[in-house]
Amino acid sequence: MLKELFYISNIFSIFRIILLFPLCYLLVTDNEGNRVLIIAILIGMYVTDLLDGFLARKLNQVTELGKIIDPLADKISVVTLVLILLLQSKIPLWFVLIVVLRDVLILLFGLILKGRKKITLMSNYPGKIAVFSIGVVILISTLNLSALKNFQFYLMLLSTALIFYSSFLYFKRFNQTIGEKNGTRDLH
């Protein structure tokens, strides 16, 4: 397991968490001169998120550790960033509650599945699109440009729809997986 920690895909996931520290500092100091650096770090975090899964599959380094670290890095990053933006009044409470509740429920149901079936569900494609849209909301919110306020609002509505849709699909897969017994579904 220690060897898996040093797989390039897992290093990218850990690096994403590390990037969160300077990003949070830059966001909290809220200096307009930091915008370029904030955008660069956000894009860097997104690229590492894309690369970790791609490299894990390409290099045949898909591990149980990676299945945990990658989504955990996503959840820590997203929740931390939306909370900071909420405290700065750059995004509304309703959106933060939806994003955080989604992540908490997926984490909780993931732990239940891991405990009962020793299985970790991979994220679904609509879930990846939802996380991308949340990332774009975060990016636009950090820019804090009045010209983008309407776009930001409609993007939050789109993100909310994607969150509900991807969550529905995730919980449907959860129910199917939890109902299986030794490779067959328990119909009782």
Q: Has residue 183 been placed in a domain?
A: no
* Torsion angle, alpha carbons of 26, 27, 33, 34, to 10: 50
159-170: average pLDDT: 93
- What pLDDT, on the 0 to 100 scale, is given for residue 90? 93
Q: Which residues contact 107 (CB under 8 A, 6 or more apart)?
A: 75
Range of the domain at 11: 2-178
The tally of domains found in the chain comes to 1
Q: Has residue 29 been placed in a domain?
A: yes
Q: Has residue 188 been placed in a domain?
A: no
CA 137 from centre of chain:
13
- What pLDDT, on the 0 to 100 scale, is given for residue 1? 65
Higher-confidence residue of 158 and 182: namely 158
Q: Has residue 63 been placed in a domain?
A: yes
In degrees, rounded to 5, the angle at the alpha carbon of residue 138 between the alpha carbons of residues 136 and 77 is 110
18-36: average pLDDT: 90
Kindly report, residue by residue over 31-76, the tens digit of the pLDDT: 778 889 999 999 999 898 888 888 888 888 888 788 788 888 888 9
Q: Has residue 186 been placed in a domain?
A: no
> What is the distance between the alpha carbons of residues 63 and 43, in angstroms, rounded to a whole number?
25
123-133: average pLDDT: 83
108-112: average pLDDT: 85
Mean pLDDT across the chain, nearest whole number? Answer: 86
Of the chain, the percentage scoring pLDDT greater than 90 comes to 41
CATH code for the domain of 108: 1.20.120.1760
Residue 184 in this model has a pLDDT that exceeds 50: no
Residue 118: left if φ>0, alpha if ψ -120 to 50, beta else—which one? Answer: left
5-23: average pLDDT: 90
Q: Has residue 20 been placed in a domain?
A: yes
- What pLDDT, on the 0 to 100 scale, is given for residue 176? 86
Q: Whole-prediction pTM value? A: 0.84
Residue 185 in this model has a pLDDT that exceeds 80: no
